Amino acid sequence: MTTLTRTNAKTPVGNSLTAGQLPAWMPWALLAASLVLSSAVFAIMNSGGEVADFNIAGAVFIGVIIFAIVLVVLSSVVETRRRAADRLATVLVSIAFTIALLPLISLLFTVIADGISRFDGQFFSFSMRNVVGEGGGAIHAIYGTLIVTGWATLISVPIGLMTSIYLVEYGRGRIAKLITFFVDVMTGIPSIVAGLFIVAVVALVNPGLNTGFMGSVALSVLMIPVVVRSSEEMLRLVPNELREASYALGVPKWLTIVKVVLPTSIAGITTGIMLSISRVIGETAPLLLTAGFTQSLNVDAFDNAMMTLPVFVYDQFQNPGTNIAAALERAWAGALTLIIIVMALNLIARFVAKKFAPKFGR
């Protein structure tokens, strides 16, 4: 009897390159190397210039292009043709994403580079009263922005939320369609028109009056349709089964809205409100006509003019005084402060949405 023995011959396992596949870390390493190479070239071209003159958008774009070419060529050599085509498609999507981000990257880099020099204690503790050259700050504009936006929120949120509740829960027929039509029209109204409308209304009582509250009312005209639209969509996402279950237990409709519908959609509603605030906090045109100009701190929204950060930035660019360089530094610092406030509002919106989102499961 012949005994047959099977020999298990183990084939040596090669690395990722010999196996026809690029290592997982290779694309990231190529991207980092491409960005470093592109930044170095642009830095050499900008040698002797200021930091703010560095073309970061161009450096990122050229770096991504270099990365795309090298990655596709390397993939076509090492990997299969099908894998190389997949890499090419991924790279094209990445390039489109980079092009969309370039304005934001360039904007943030420019604002930070030009505004960080005046981002100091004096800027956040002094106003521009009796300041014509260096020094001064934007504390009066920061207070004005928070007060004007706060009043606009107090006006807009109840009106917008109640309107959206009516459209979702009660609105039927021509009245609901008419409200929806006017909300859509108000969404596209230019901001300067809102300011002119408030000025025209107030001029019937007291011509030439400028107060912070007038600015708040003008901003609320722009904010209400955004609140209505965002809240309406969130309320429509609440499942009808929850409403029907509440009705089956004998709960009246108004209490169902308060106890079931609103708590279920509160995360999305809060996010929409925060985004609407972020949308109007940087408006300049309506505040130029309504809140006016002042170089002093004013915390009374119903008396005299009130400065806001967008108007402060505009004023520093248009009326630099005796020291143009100092005025430009204050303007860039004001723009950086406004960006930080908007970013903080967006982070708060994300936190609230995550905190109050409905919890499913046991």
Q: Is the domain of 188 the same as that of 311?
A: yes
Q: Quick one: pLDDT band at residue 2, thresholds 50, 70, 90?
A: very low
pLDDT digits (tens, 9 = 90+) for 42-64: 888 877 666 666 788 888 888 88
Q: Residue 340 falls within a domain, yes or no? A: yes
Query: CA 226, CA 245: separation in Å to the nearest integer?
Result: 31
327 and 187 inside one domain: yes
CA distance 325 to 331: 10
Tell me the DSSP string of 80-123: -HHHHHHHHHHHHHHHHHHHHHHHHHHHHHHHHHHHGGG-STTT
In a domain, 84, yes or no: yes
Q: Is residue 220 part of a domain?
A: yes
Torsion of CA 216, 220, 221, 227, to 10 degrees: 170
Determine the structural domain holding residue 33 and report its residue range.
26-118
Residue 343, both tokens: 């970013």
Which residues touch 325 (CB under 8 Å, ≥6 apart)? Answer: none
Q: What is the pLDDT of residues 126-146, one digit of tens each?
A: 888 888 888 888 999 999 999
Q: Are residues 299 and 335 in the same domain?
A: yes
Count of C-beta atoms within a 10 Å radius of residue 127: 21
Burial class (CB in 10 A: 0-12, 13-18, 19+), 277: buried
How many domains does the structure of the chain reveal? Answer: 2
Would the pLDDT of 155 be above 90? Answer: yes
Residues 144 and 100 grouped into a single domain = no
Considering only the C-alpha atoms of the chain, give the largest distance between any 2 of them, rounded to a whole number of Å: 118
What's the confidence (pLDDT) of residue 164? 93
Residue 7 lies inside a defined structural domain of this protein:
no
- Gap between the Cα atoms of 282 and 346, Å rounded: 14
Give counts: helices (H), strands (E), the chain: 13, 0
Per-residue pLDDT at 357? 66
Last residue of a domain, one of 118, 151, 176: 118
**Measured between alpha carbons, how far is 257 from 168 in angstroms, rounded to an integer?**
11
- As a whole number, the mean pLDDT across the chain is 85
pLDDT digits (tens, 9 = 90+) for 90-109: 888 888 888 888 888 888 88
Q: What is the CATH number of the domain that holds 261?
A: 1.10.3720.10
Q: 321 and 249 in one domain?
A: yes
Q: Answer yes or no: do 113 and 145 share one domain.
A: no
Q: Is residue 91 domain-shared with residue 193, that is, in the same domain?
A: no
Tokens for 38?
């592109």
Residue 195's CB is within 10 A of a number of other CB atoms, namely: 26
Q: Are residues 110 and 210 in the same domain?
A: no
Q: What is the pLDDT of residues 158-201, one digit of tens each?
A: 999 999 999 998 888 888 889 889 988 888 888 899 889 998 88
pLDDT at res. 271: 85
pLDDT at 8: 47
- Other beta carbons within 10 angstroms of residue 249's beta carbon come to 8
Is there a single domain that holds both residue 113 and residue 148? no
Residue 8 lies in a domain: no
What whole-number distance in Å separates Cα of residue 124 and Cα of residue 141? 10
203 inside domain: yes
Same domain (yes/no): 109, 155: no
pLDDT digits (tens, 9 = 90+) for 299-322: 998 988 999 999 999 999 888 878
Q: 3-class DSSP state for residue 362?
A: coil
Q: 26-41, pLDDT tens digit by residue? A: 888 988 999 999 888 8
43: in domain: yes
pLDDT for position 51: 64
Name the domain boundary from 51, 85, 118: 118
Residues 85 and 149 in one domain: no
Q: Please report which confidence band the pLDDT of residue 359 belongs to, taking 50, 70 and 90 as the band edges.
A: low
* Residue where one domain finishes, among candidates 85, 118, 151: 118
Q: Based on the domain organization, do 308 and 341 belong to the same domain?
A: yes
Structure letter (DSSP) for residue 9: P
Residue by residue, DSSP assigns 203-214 as: HTTSTT---HHH
With respect to residue 20, please indicate whether it lies within any of the assigned structural domains. Answer: no
